[in-house]
Amino acid sequence: MQRHIPFTTTAILLSIAAMPAQAGEADRARTAIAEARGKITAGDKVGTSNGAPLLQTEARAALTDAETLLSHGKKSEAIVAAHRAGQLADQAIVNADQLKMTAARERRMDAEATAANAQAGAAAETARANAAERAADTANARADALARPAPVATTVQIVEKTVTPAPVKRTTTHKRTVVHHKAPVTTASTTTTTVTSKPN
């Protein structure tokens, strides 16, 4: 009987030693599945469903396969499927980040181009304003020149005038005195003439 005890002890010891190995493989599968699930969740938070939707979908499918394999006792296959799910989730995160960086770079380049265009426009506007100011200064100078009387050449012209008095027209005003003459009073006189005739 003593021979049986060592075999039994050895068998028990081997089965006890194998249990942690089997239990360790199941734990490793659960850990790999949990890590893959965490990566997929992190990818959802950073926007991989918009940036890399196909990779995120493949990672979810691989995670489901790993969970199914573990539930059927296929621990090593579950570990492989969980690692595959984690790798796909990592790749989805990287692709989404690259898309975000590309979009940010394009926005920055657009902003820089807009700023450069604005600066060029401002420079052109400044040049136009300076040209207008110079034109206004020139116009003001011309207006000032026209407003100032031009120096006049002084010409002295001596004109001798002989003034001859105009004949004075004398007007005499006759004073009329109205004299009233009385009409002679006629007296009636009668003259009688007698004529005598003598015969011869």
Q: Is residue 32 part of a domain?
A: yes
Q: Do the domain assignments include residue 61?
A: yes
The string of pLDDT tens digits covering residues 12-22 is 444 444 444 55
Q: Is residue 97 part of a domain?
A: yes
For residue 105, give both structure tokens.
């770079």
The predicted-structure confidence for 30-82, as pLDDT tens digits, reads as follows 999 999 999 989 888 887 777 788 888 899 999 999 999 999 989 999 999 99
Please tell me the pTM assigned to this model. 0.47
Which pLDDT score is estimated for 127? Answer: 87
On whether residue 34 sits in a domain, the answer given is yes
- 126 is a domain residue: no
Average pLDDT, the chain: 77
pLDDT digits (tens, 9 = 90+) for 69-96: 999 989 999 999 999 999 999 998 888 8
Q: What is the tens place of the pLDDT at every residue in 88-147?
A: 999 988 888 888 888 889 889 988 888 888 888 888 888 888 888 888 888 888 877 777
Three-state DSSP string of the chain: CCCHHHHHHHHHHHHHHHHHHHHHHHHHHHHHHHHHHHHHHHHHHHCHHHHCHHHHHHHHHHHHHHHHHHHCCCHHHHHHHHHHHHHHHHHHHHHHHHHHHHHHHHHHHHHHHHHHHHHHHHHHHHHHHHHHHHHHHHHHHHHHHHHCCCCCCCCCCCCCCCCCCCCCCCCCCCCCCCCCCCCCCCCCCCCCCCCCCCCC
39 neighbors 62 (Cβ within 8 angstroms): no
- Two structure tokens written together for 115: 């700023």
Range of the domain at 96: 4-104
For the chain, how many structural domains are there in total? 1
Nearest to 96 by CA among 63, 61, 59, 67: 59
Q: How confident is the model at residue 168 (pLDDT cuts 50, 70, 90)?
A: low
Question: Does residue 71 fall inside a structural domain?
Answer: yes
On whether residue 8 sits in a domain, the answer given is yes
In this structure, is residue 52 part of a structural domain?
A: yes
